[in-house]
Chains A and B, each alone.
Chain A
Amino acid sequence: MSAQDKVLEVKGLTKFYPVRLSFSESLRRKTTQVVHAVDGVDFDVKRGEIFGLAGESGSGKTTVLRAVLMLIRPSSGQIIYEGTDLAKLKGKDLKKFRTKLQIVFQDPYESINPRMNVYEVVSEGLFINHIARTEQEAEEMVKQALKDVQLTPPEEFLFRYPHELSGGQRQRVAVARALVLNPDLILADEPVSMLDVSVRAEVLNVLLAVRQERKISVVFVTHDLALSKDICDRLAIMYLGVIMEMGPAVELVAKPYHPYTQALIAAVPVPDPSGEKVKVLAKGEIPTNVSPPSGCRFHTRCYLAKEICKERIPPLDEASPGHWVACHFWREASEKYLKGEVKAVEDTTLV
């Protein structure tokens, strides 16, 4: 893979948040604790690829996305877009890149100004970034963007207000707002989780189409593994701020190497009453990331955990071509999973 094929490279990304001390704690001179929201994440996104970032709440997936956009400044690490490290830029220099990386937020009921009509919402960025000079110019671009997201005929939608649109249509307006700036990369944060099942595919198919036709890459943040298998080309599974496993989406879901990925997949229900039942393969609950477990972060819940897992952080290694895993015992785990030998946790009492 040559370097040109990569739209984005993220290297060693970390984001720590200090935990604010209460007044009495500061008097007692307690040391400030740190939330390890993202703790050393490396990945790249190829041109025209849909890259999924999946994990439970608190795994750091949204923080990664915001850091990539420089909406929050990372604590350390590099965000390389076309050879430039965005993490080093500020102000005007950074603004030049803003149009190239665009975001679609989770909730289209919150992310679109209710007092602006569709034309105003979509064209705003064109004027801010001096892409369009006249209203006519802007209108043509907005119409094209609306066509791209299948809001046709665009004339019919231009002067509608958000409350006149369904959830699926609103989210497509949000995608149009990103597309009109002609980005290389769209970062979508749970773009369909607020939408009804029957209209989700509208938005997903639009994302699939723009990637197909315009080679735009998409980073798709989601907690829905079933969906990521159908949408993403590659998928990374995050847990407590680190990537546990990364690989081709279909392969990763069918043959997960990491015990955590296995636990996630076994817990996803199947829409078929005669199908397999959900199983709980991981003990207890996700620990706090204020002081995450030593060694492998998953060792407190893992069915395979041994001494070494408490001591040494397993590196993210390429286990098979393109399929990366951070586990000392991935071979054993993978074998057990495929043979159906991973047992459900018996005592599920939460303490």
Chain B
Amino acid sequence: MMRLEVLEVSDLRMHYKVEHGLVKAVDGIDFKLEEGEILGIVGESGCGKSSLALTLMKLLPYNGKIVSGRITVGGADLTGMKDATVRRDIRWKKIAFVPQGAMNALNPVYKVGDQIAEVIRFHKGASKKAALNTAKSLLELVGVDPARAKYYPHEFSGGMKQRAMIAMSLALTPSVLVADEPTTALDVIVQAGIVNLLLSLRKEFRMSIILISHDLALVAQMSDTVAIMYAGKFVEYGKSLSVYGHPLHPYTIGLLKAFANIKGPREKLTSIPGAPPDLLEPPAGCRFNPRCPYAKEICKEKEPSLQETLLGQLVACHFWKEIRDQRNREN
């Protein structure tokens, strides 16, 4: 079967200019997204995952600049494109975005249905009535009673608001949905509902999803491929089954050990010493080296590049082979 690529990102770098220098929030990211693929991007706060999402959408603040790389969507490169063109042809039509805390982005003084209809009227020139009808069917699609279109945001629960925002993002039938922490601040049963909704959208429309989250378990549930991000870079990237099953980067291994598993036995959780680095002055060499249990001299000097394992997993660590062999011996 021919695999369709909907999005390709190569050597993407985005830096914020601040008073004291440059914050390299996105620092050399490469990936391809296929039709119907769910890519999970996992990292801690400050690792650059939300900045990556904003870069993909070209929704950067005034001090954020794309300094290199390409973002190819449907054959066109977004990085060099004029803002007006991105707004008219790409954003929401090709790539849609559900930002973090999206449910608080609804305008409190307009009815939810009207807010969704507005997008459709503006972009498609539909009549008010037709747009509202589309809005209602979108609400139905995301599992909200269409009769709720005439309600105001404060009459919606958190889960409903989040679903309404997803409905809005689907209004122009995008091929890629970027969802930044789509379930934080939602209760676990509500979260499960959103997970199932996103999975069904993928199935029904072959939509590709980039899921950005700090929650390893949520990403494990949903994604086909996963990227572990640390200090602006992917440190490990591959099929979810292989990354979770055979993590090779010490950071991925550490994260998995720090994460509680409800179905597992009672375990003592372990932390990774130290804290994520300041991106203004990231450590020399491998950015994880001050926290890494395997770090040696070379890690302070030379930055490891992403290398491919036999199983097609990419890992940026000088000692991934040793880690793999050690695990093989233990098993």
Task: Report A's interface with B, CB cutoff 8 A.
Answer: 56-57, 166-169, 196-202, 204-205, 208, 223-227, 229-230, 249-250, 253, 263-280, 282, 285-286, 348-351
Contacts and interface: CB of A to CB of B under 8 A. Distances in A.
A348 B263 contact: no
Interface stretch (B11-19, B65-73, B251-259): B251-259
Given A202-B271, A349-B144, A349-B145, A268 B188 contact: yes
Contacts of A227: 260, 269
Which 3 residue pairs across A and B have the least CB separation, nearest first?
A166-B275, A201-B271, A267-B192
Given A250-B266, A271-B259, A285-B157, A200 B189 contact: no
Interface string B98-109: 000000000000
Interface string B127-165: 000000000000010011101100000000101100100
A271 B140 CA distance: 31
Given A264-B188, A271-B261, A280-B196, 11 more contacts: A197-B258, A197-B259, A229-B266, A270-B261, A272-B263, A275-B263, A277-B221, A278-B191, A285-B157, A285-B190, A349-B145
Interface in B167-225: 187-193, 195-197, 214-218, 220-221, 223
Given A269-B221, A348-B196, A350-B159, A198 B271 contact: yes
B241 interface: yes
A269 B44 contact: no
Given A230-B267, A285-B190, A269 B218 contact: yes
B215 to A, nearest CB: 7
B165 to A, nearest CB: 14
Contacts of B255: 197-198
Contact of A198 (B144, B189, B254, B268): B254
Given A229-B266, A348-B196, A286 B187 contact: yes
Nearest to A286: B187
User: For the side of the interface on B, what is the size category?
Assistant: 35 or more
Contact of B187 (A57, A167, A271, A273): A57
B188 A167 contact: no
A268 B262 contact: yes
A202 B221 CA distance: 26
B276 interface: yes
Contacts of B163: 350
B270 A201 contact: yes
B66 to A, nearest CB: 27
Contact of B188 (A223, A275, A349, A350): A223
Given A196-B44, A273-B220, A285-B159, A349 B271 contact: no
Contact of B269 (A168, A200, A265, A276): A200
A230 to B, nearest CB: 5
A226 B255 CA distance: 15
A197 B144 CA distance: 33
Contact of A282 (B189, B217, B218, B276): B189
B189 A263 contact: yes
Interface of B: 44-45, 140, 143-145, 147-148, 157, 159-160, 163, 187-193, 195-197, 214-218, 220-221, 223, 240-241, 244-245, 254-256, 258-263, 265-272, 274-276
Contacts of B188: 56, 223, 225, 264, 267-268
A97 to B, nearest CB: 32
B260 A230 contact: yes
A208 B271 CA distance: 14
Contacts of B259: 197, 271
Contact of A271 (B145, B148, B189, B256): B256
Contacts of B189: 56, 263-264, 267, 280, 282
A226 B275 contact: no
Contact of B258 (A198, A269, A278, A348): A198
Contacts of B197: 348
A350 B157 contact: yes
A200 B217 contact: no
A269 B196 contact: no
Contacts of B260: 224, 226-227, 229-230
A351 B271 contact: no
Contacts of B191: 267, 269, 278
A225, A250, A285: most-surrounded residue (chain B CB, <10 A): A285
Contacts of B266: 229-230, 249-250
B308 to A, nearest CB: 20
Contacts of B275: 166-169, 196, 199
Nearest to A198: B272
B146 to A, nearest CB: 9
Contacts of B269: 200-201, 204-205, 227, 230
